[in-house]
Structure 1
């Protein structure tokens, strides 16, 4: 297949391959930017805006379909770009985000000899020495790397406590592919920055650099291993969560060896039922674990799709009978289980200030408080201070009044026309506001949308509000405790100021008596200095005019003297032109 040849050719890219890849990405972007210019800028200027409006939805959907095909064909970062775009609900229309939401790493695996060569070069030894055995057939192949099952040797197994492991190996040549893709994306960002309808909505350069940082971290397996250990530390005392152990002796920037924790895929309802686990019981636990990451720990898994989460059954201790007459020992009522997370290449971090705003936002959402939710969004920094939020507050109030508290099963019963009508109105309000989601919100939205999708797959009747409300109640209690602490701290600070105030007043009175008090106003000083410079430049301009005119008049009779005066006029001219700059 052509796709296989192209992707495999990129696995060991030469100069020709990288140039062709770069040109292909730019051709695709240039062609679609031309279409956008024609429909969104040119036609409205000649009075044909209705044509652009009528065809917009179809054009956006066609663009997304073509990009989907391009991403699958090229692999590399293009698939990540599609996944990235699918989460930018603040920037892109739903026709694009919906089409790209299902974009996965749909690429063929790299032949094992190439994987072997890269792994041996990284580890500095033959694979036969690094592992007791390794399966040449990958268990997963993605655009940036692929994974193989292996068994550690006896000495490594004794040191690490592990035996069965998974070895993740980068695709050969992926560094060069990433460099080419980022270079092309930076070029496209430069083009977009000159398109007003795009530049008014988003800083394209910052967006690409944000994506670049995430991508470069994702291909650094040492970074992923450190993320896994940090995540494990956050949930060290939590019986709900498990994390694979890293075998650091067999881990480098391009090879990652970790415990094989393969278990039941979280959305595999048949396997869960066979293990005696009710999927409807897994959904709220998964939601609560994700809430803890976002609102408590501030360090969260940003890619919690079903392939990255297992449900691992855990045998419960046997409960013995009270006496011999009670009969044989009885097992517990049902199996226990844990949520096992894998793939920590894409992680998000929520700064404390943003976390407080998110807590406030969650509490407002749980209480159906449209105004409180808008205030929280403003506090987080999503809305600019100048934004007029009256319409948004009204829209949020209507949203809560009509759809608040509904689960996905109930929402599916709502007339689609009502959804579309509200979506158009709400979208118009949102697009009219000056806002752009901060960097951390990109991953937060991605994590929450995937969480919601997984929970709905586990239980079609799952209502996210049922998990949000008790969690928000807990947060509200915590916030009240924090408020009491803040008030106590402020009271202590106020008491300290009051204690020191009499002495400071006494010092001030003494300095007034001595005449040593100096009052300064930096703003006033700057304005006075500016006025002085302006006055000096005005005088210089007048002197220049006088010398120039006088020299011109005298030159008719006194050639030398008139010429000297005209030449001398250059000195006050230069002062008039540049004195303001010199004085700054």
Structure 2
């Protein structure tokens, strides 16, 4: 493992700094887009659900696709945080229709580089010395440029090859502008009770903003890289680039050059003699360790942030080594190292969720639907009132249908059966009280990107097969912990006779009471029936008032207008209740 000259400590949050000013013109433009989108959803998905108006509704999938296309064009044109937001939304196939995620999937974080002179000035301002006192060479042409930063090849004063990552000049203003506009849109979303009950929107905005701002602090990224290097110090198949602290600052990060083969360049991997299916397995295993062992996750595993370093194979001469940035000679059966770069976006899994995540994985490994549902409840994803038994039955049906399928077959079946799956489970998902755990948002993002990447590397990748060994290890570790608690549980069993005697004594005295209640599913169905009856009665009354007003208007304009106004007022009142609650 390469040596790091940074201290492998837990990342500290960036030091407070004065709030950056915002670009008013950009803010108004982005806010205008979100405002139009909000009005669009309000009109089509709330107003046009009212009696008689529902006939005017258009195909919802076509509307969602058009809205996603407009956002993609806006993000591609304006860059900044909008690109990252679009990339994140493109992975949320559990929230948005497939037409939306497909439209956003093509949004690439690639923009023209900033002028080199501006980059050079920023490096000198950041490091407080001329570039020549830090680097022997600094290439003017960027290796790559993204929405927040760009990278340049360099050579340190001692001749060591390096890559220098530099924030785009003025990016703080763009980020603060976009975050403020996104925050405004989130505040609008809080009007909807359905959304408000399922996600802590204030926490979500805070987490998204904090993670994005951390990406603007290169010192924090260096510390993240050091922690990953410590986490994988004993793994010969993982390489984390060294960070050159003396050539780094808050806006500048100098690191070891590691641009070997791109992880998704399948032809190059094959030509180099690297088994891409083995790469997929190693990549997946590293994420199992990040989530369930280290609890510290690289949250941005897109192909630009992962490389493969071919190592000496059986047919290579002694001393064979591949240099970064240079062509790899053809070979066969070469070993490899998986290389991670760009540690700006990371996710730390809090202590309160770690046990639930381990229980979830063990439940998956054992094909135990009840254990998985209980893990959801332990994590706080399922709120009180959720019908755990019905969810368990639904999950068992999914296990029966999909267990053991490789990822390619699984995707085909889900696409083919999406409509029937929604008919079977959609109402249950809508009725189940859930709360998105904001602490897992970026971990979920990493997993969704990971699944897409391993599928590209190996279309027959089997999640079940690769997950089971890890789940078994966690179960064994958990069993060892249970042995230590067995004695205390045995002592608790000894108290049962006394507890039973107390219950019998209360019964003899006539003080024993039994509480009964409807089963959760029956109660939910009864409430649903009552609401349906209320809605039908209200719709009938409003329609009757509207019709009566139209009939009487010619003979008695005042009475007819009054009846139609009453119908309109009633409709607006129902609309307000639907939006808020």
Alignment TM-score, normalising by the size of structure 1: 0.74
Q: Given the alignment, which residue of 33, 38, 53 partners 1:28?
A: 33
**What stretches of structure 2 of length at least 5 have no aligned partner?**
1-19, 318-330, 496-581
| Secondary structure at 1:140 match in 2 | strand
Change (3 A) 1:38 1:491: closer
1:85/1:419 CA distance change after superposition, 3 Å: closer
Comparing both structures, which one devotes a greater share of its residues to helix?
A: 1
Q: Deviations over 1:184-215 (max 9, x none)?
A: 22222222222334334333332222110110
Q: Does 1:273 align with 2:270?
A: yes
Question: CA offset at residue 234 of structure 1?
Answer: 0.5
1:434-482: CA deviation from partner (whole Å, max 9, x where unpaired): 2132122212221222222221111111111110111111111111112
1:350 aligns with 349
**Secondary structure of the equivalent of 1:107?**
coil
Q: Deviations over 1:275-328 (max 9, x none)?
A: 2211122211211111011111111111112221111123379999xxxxxxxx
| Closer, same or farther: CA 60–318 of 1 in aligned 2, 3 Å | closer
Report if the CA contact (8 A) 1:91-1:202 is conserved: no
CA contact (8 A) 1:193 1:203 kept: no
Aligned positions of 1:392-471 closer than 5 A: 392-411=391-410, 414=413, 416-471=415-470
Q: Deviations over 1:222-242 (max 9, x none)?
A: 111000000100111111211
Does the CA contact (< 8 Å) of 1:87 and 1:442 recur in 2?
A: no
- Answer with 1 or 2: which has the greater Rg: 1
97-106 or 439-448, which moves further after superposition?
Answer: 97-106
Structure 1 residue 412: deviation in Å? 5.2
Q: Which residue of 2 aligns with 1:187?
A: 184
Indicate which of 18, 40, 44 corresponds to 1:39. Answer: 44
CA contact (8 A) 1:150 1:165 kept: yes
Q: Aligned pair 1:138/2:135, yes or no?
A: no
Distance 1:49 1:394 in 2: 35
Deviations 1:372-431 (A, max 9, x none): 211111111111122123332222111111112111232355384423321453343222
Distance 2:91 2:208 in 1: 12
Q: Deviation digits for residues 316-361 of structure 1, max 9, x if unmatched? A: 79999xxxxxxxxxxx994321111111011111123312211111
List alignment gaps of at least 5 residues for structure 1. 1-13, 158-162, 321-331, 499-584
Give the secondary-structure state (helix, strand or coil) at the position aligned to 1:150: strand
User: With CA pairs under 8 Å and 6+ residues apart, which has the higher RCO, 1 or 2?
Assistant: 2
Report whether the alignment pairs 1:82 with 2:81: no
Q: Give the match for residue 475 of structure 1.
A: 474
Structure-2 residue corresponding to 1:250: 247
Report the secondary structure of 1:442's partner residue.
helix
1:89 deviates by 5.0
RMSD over equivalenced CA pairs, Å? 2.7
Count of residue correspondences: 463
> CA-to-partner distance for each residue in 1:482-532, whole Å, 9 max, x for gaps?
2113335x479989x99xxxxxxxxxxxxxxxxxxxxxxxxxxxxxxxxxx
SS at 1:135 equivalent: strand
Give the 3-state SS of the residue equivalent to 2:382 in structure 1: coil
Tell me by how many angstroms 1:100 deviates.
2.4
Q: For 1:468 and 1:255, locate their aligned partners in 2 and report how far apart those are by CA, in whole Å.
A: 38
Equivalence for 1:55? 59
Within 2, Cα distance between the matches of 1:30 and 1:200?
22
For the structure 1 residues 117 and 77, does the alpha-carbon distance in structure 2 shift closer, same or farther, using more than 3 Å as the test?
same
Equivalence for 1:338: 337
Q: CA deviation at 1:111?
A: 1.3
